[in-house]
Chain A
Amino acid sequence: MNIVVCVKYVPDAQAERTFNASDNTTDRDNVDGLLSELDEYAVEEALKIVEAGEGEVTVLTVGPAQAADAIKKALQMGAHKGVHVDDDAIHGSDAVATSLVLAEAIKKIGNEAPVDLVVTGMASTDGTMGVVPTMLAERLGLPAVTFASELTIDGGAGGTATIHRDGDASTQTITATLPALVSVTDQINEPRYPSFKGIMAAKKKPVEKWALADLGIDPSQVGLDAAWTKVEAFAARPPRSQGEIVPDEGDGGRKLAAFLTEHKFV
């Protein structure tokens, strides 16, 4: 199995995140970045698949120089090699352009050995759109089986991928033939912590650095100017208001029930 996991380097969701005043893109300089926590599930799932059988996990990211940290974390967890697409022209790219770069990079990875499975997180913790997996599958002509809370591979490369997708009212079981793209939720596994040995081994693992030219992508197709959507303006959300205090005059329970019903909490 030759698996590519797409990961994103994002500003720490625990920190106070903001935008650059100059072009309204994400501020990466004043906030610590890390491997998107939702992508850790994708890395873990890929590792479990190759550990149960055989194969190799390549971790792919598109991002600025610091994004190398996201690859490093995935390699520390156990991924075998990394590909980092970094090009100044990519700055400000939207989901459409990001999926283009990822798709071309995966095609290039596939030139060496065919890619059997592409795994992604369900969304990034910064953009939270969750559309890149489907766009990417479309560009690659792969079946997209998304929001997997369980993933089973049968028959290895050339076999099938079967997922469980938990909805509000039902759980769907979906099977796709490989090669395919699977996006996974935070319910699918418990991502491992890198071990000391993993940290040491990661230093020796190969990481390829590619620019747009290596992928044959014209810079005009990506970046802020090519984006279909743009952040026009941003403003800090007003501080949370005090909330409503309801005095209990013997009917507190009823008022509470009414509140919960009104907001469809019950």
Chain B
Amino acid sequence: MFELSQDHEDFRAVVRDFAENEVAPNIAKWDAASYFPTDLVPKMGELGLFGLVVPEEYGGAGESGDFTSLCVAIEELGRVDQSIGITLSAGVGLGINPILTYGTEEQKQRFLPDLVAGRTLAGFGLTEPEAGSDAAASRTRAVRDGDEWVIDGAKAFITNSGTEITSVVTVTARTGTTAAGAPEISAIMVPAGTPGFIVEPAYHKLGWHVSDTHGLTFEACRVPIDNMLGEPGQGFKQFLKTLDDGRIAISALAVGCAQACLELATDYAKTRIAFGRPIGVNQGVSFQLADLAVMVEGARLLTYKAAWLKDELHAGRRSVAEVKHAASIAKLYSTEAAVSATRIATQVFGGNGFMEEYPVARFYRDAKILEIGEGTSEVQRMLIARGLGLPA
């Protein structure tokens, strides 16, 4: 009951092997140069990482795949590097999922096979410079002109939006006003290279240096009306539905981060000698590692419980509310545990932990965003509290 299946573990072994051979030897160099390893993406595609929740007709794993497998892959990539983990998480959760869930057959045929194979990447533009957690405050507009949408506005912090192989970014935009006077928000797919779709220079970030993140500007950007994704006016609602998956995925990424910290710090505590003994003999160190082990275990159990619920929901055996609640709990705990884990690990490493030669320094920088992206810790607490039936 408290174990993943043998299939999941077999898959974990392969992804771990891949991460340790294809990512680990290069990651310090990529991170220092803020280099996005485009060539790695099709290799991830060959492993099947982008197709774990995609039907076979688009190149995915079909019924043999599940969301839990995706979490295993994200955790294992994240254990070696968080940027590569988020590239997969966002590639599936934000790039593929909206098209898979809301796309027409023509839209799916057009984009999914390449996305699943890792030949292309897609992004999702919701956040704006003035609208983060309050996504409904979006200002980007799309006005219909004949057979086209004309988009004007700006998006912020959009993952995988500016790589050499980005094929499309789906953006939410105001397309009108409801009868009640509220903004009507729809999702529209904007192919890379569309005139008026401007990819701003990459951000200078605290962490996630290897992940591709850009601001996007739309200036009289015209796309065919057929590029609307899903129903008009449903863009925001559609997006919220895909958020639960994203939260569990970020939770898996956080588990990978905490696991890496546990392994790195434990090894270091066994081998680093101070006052003639390994530093791990001191309770000041060993108790912190014990706490770290508890955090990893707790985060992993919460994450895979949420992932399991998500798979059970897919099979029609669980409710959306259960998944949402579990996703928020997992995301909140795991990401805060990951941030604590990096703090502990860095402390165990002492001065070396502050040096970029040691991976813990990178994990320290990378962890903070986990508490912010895909719903901040504050938003998760709000949702969890709401789930308790407290007065709103």
A joins B in a complex = yes
Residues of A within 8 A of B (CB): 72, 76, 192-197, 199-200, 203
Q: Which of B6-14, B85-93, B312-320, B379-387 contacts A (4 or more CB under 8 A)?
A: B6-14
Sample of 16 further A-B pairs with CB below 8 A, known A72-B10, A76-B10, A196-B61: A192-B46, A193-B14, A193-B17, A193-B18, A193-B46, A195-B48, A196-B11, A196-B47, A196-B48, A196-B51, A196-B52, A196-B64, A197-B48, A197-B64, A199-B7, A199-B14
Secondary structure dominating the interface of B = helix
Question: B56 — nearest CB in chain A belongs to which residue?
Answer: A197
Q: Are B18 and A200 in contact (CB under 8 A)?
A: no
Give every chain A residue within 8 A of B61 (Cβ-Cβ): 196-197, 200
**CA A193 to CA B49, docked complex, whole Å:** 12
* A-B interface, 10 closest residue pairs, ranked by CB to CB distance from nearest: A196-B48, A200-B64, A195-B48, A199-B10, A194-B14, A193-B18, A196-B61, A195-B47, A199-B11, A193-B14
Q: Is B335 an interface residue (CB 8 A)?
A: no
Could you mark each residue 352-367 of chain B with 1 if its beta carbon is under 8 Å from any beta carbon of chain A, else 0?
Answer: 0000000000000000
Interchain nearest-CB distance for B54 vs A (Å): 11
Q: Are A196 and B69 in contact (CB under 8 A)?
A: yes
Q: Are B64 and A195 in contact (CB under 8 A)?
A: no
Q: Is B65 an interface residue (CB 8 A)?
A: yes
**How many of B's residues come within 8 Å of A, CB to CB?**
16
**CA A116 to CA B47, docked complex, whole Å:** 30
Interchain nearest-CB distance for A28 vs B (Å): 18
Interchain nearest-CB distance for B278 vs A (Å): 17
Q: Are A196 and B18 in contact (CB under 8 A)?
A: no
Give every chain B residue within 8 A of A196 (Cβ-Cβ): 11, 47-49, 51-52, 61, 64-65, 69
Question: B48 — nearest CB in chain A belongs to which residue?
Answer: A196
Give every chain B residue within 8 A of A72 (Cβ-Cβ): 10
Highest count of chain B CB atoms <10 Å: which of A196, A197, A203 = A196
Give every chain A residue within 8 A of B52 (Cβ-Cβ): 196
Residue from the list A192, A193, A195, A203 in contact with B7, Cβ < 8 A: A203
Give every chain B residue within 8 A of A197 (Cβ-Cβ): 48, 61, 64
Give every chain A residue within 8 A of B69 (Cβ-Cβ): 196
**CA A193 to CA B44, docked complex, whole Å:** 10
Give every chain B residue within 8 A of A192 (Cβ-Cβ): 46
Could you mark each residue 46-70 of chain B with 1 if its beta carbon is under 8 Å from any beta carbon of chain A, else 0?
Answer: 1111011000000001001100010
Interchain nearest-CB distance for A51 vs B (Å): 14
Q: Are B47 and A193 in contact (CB under 8 A)?
A: yes
Give every chain A residue within 8 A of B17 (Cβ-Cβ): 193
23 CB < 8 A contacts A-B: A72-B10, A76-B14, A193-B14, A193-B17, A193-B18, A193-B46, A194-B14, A195-B46, A196-B11, A196-B49, A196-B51, A196-B52, A196-B61, A196-B64, A196-B69, A197-B48, A197-B61, A199-B7, A199-B14, A200-B7, A200-B61, A200-B64, A203-B7
Give every chain B residue within 8 A of A199 (Cβ-Cβ): 7, 10-11, 14
Give every chain B residue within 8 A of A194 (Cβ-Cβ): 14
**CA A165 to CA B225, docked complex, whole Å:** 61
**CA A72 to CA B64, docked complex, whole Å:** 18
Give every chain A residue within 8 A of B10 (Cβ-Cβ): 72, 76, 199
Interchain nearest-CB distance for A189 vs B (Å): 15
Give every chain B residue within 8 A of A193 (Cβ-Cβ): 14, 17-18, 46-47
Interchain nearest-CB distance for B69 vs A (Å): 7
**CA A197 to CA B7, docked complex, whole Å:** 11
Highest count of chain B CB atoms <10 Å: which of A76, A194, A199 = A199
Give every chain A residue within 8 A of B7 (Cβ-Cβ): 199-200, 203
**CA A203 to CA B7, docked complex, whole Å:** 9
Question: A14 — nearest CB in chain B belongs to which residue?
Answer: B20
**CA A72 to CA B9, docked complex, whole Å:** 13
Interchain nearest-CB distance for B42 vs A (Å): 12
